[in-house]
Amino acid sequence: MRNQKAFGFTLIEVLVALAVLAMITLASHQILSTAINANQNSKEKVAEIGALNTAFRMLQQDFTQLALRNTRNESGDSLEQFLVADRFLFDSQYHGIAGVRDGWSNPVNLLPRSELQLFSYVVEEDHLVRKYRIYVDSLDGTEPKSQILLENIKDFTIRFRGNNETWEENWTVPTLPKAIKVEVALADDITVSRIFLLPEQESKS
């Protein structure tokens, strides 16, 4: 009698194969999920670093081009300070700062404005916001334009270094400081700081 070879799989073999397949699928899913999360975290960090670089670049452009230009409010009263800054200024959650910068490009005066720009930085609803006005003097009652630079801000501190060679938290004198130090605390317990040196400038009428 010839030996007959059995074809097919037993139930136990099928169950073992399914268990191995399930383990491989689960491991593959975990690896894929980890890779996706790592990629997402990497994109968020890159975006955060990009936003920080943009914010500090704008701060540098504004601070290094500060002009000795007085401004007038809606009542027509002249403000004697070229730069104003203090804790909770302009209803900011933390520090607020405002000044007038030069170098706002207006080739051959094509636009109905000067090359001076009134700007401010405040923190609103945990967002670092840069605001600016088309005209330096606030005589037309128009609202400033706003741009959100950073989100999830936990603190925004500005300090100034004047002639007394010490760092101060507010600036109330009618001159410009020698340097401005900015510290930004982010939601992930990271604090980034930058010091901006200010050049000597002549008064703008």
In degrees, to the nearest 5, what angle opens at C-alpha 133 toward C-alphas 138 and 63? 110
The angle formed by the CA atoms of residues 55, 82 and 91, to the nearest 5 degrees, is 60
The stretch 165-194 carries a mean pLDDT of 88
In DSSP terms, 130 is beta-bridged to 121, 147
CB atoms under 10 Å from CB of 119, counted, come to 22
Half-sphere exposure of 136 (CA within 13 A, CB side): 22
Q: Find residue 55's DSSP bridge partners.
A: none
62: Cα separation from own chain's centroid: 14
**1: pLDDT confidence band, cut at 50, 70 and 90?**
very low
pLDDT tens digit sequence for 24-79: 888 888 888 787 777 777 677 777 788 899 999 999 999 999 988 766 655 555 56
pLDDT of residue 202: 55
What are the pLDDT digits (tens) for 120-174? Answer: 999 999 999 999 988 777 656 678 899 999 999 999 999 999 888 889 888 888 8
* Domains located in the chain, CATH noted: 55-197 (3.10.610.10)
Rounded to whole angstroms, the Cα distance separating 161 from 133 reads: 27
Cα–Cα distance, 79 to 69 (Å, whole number): 9
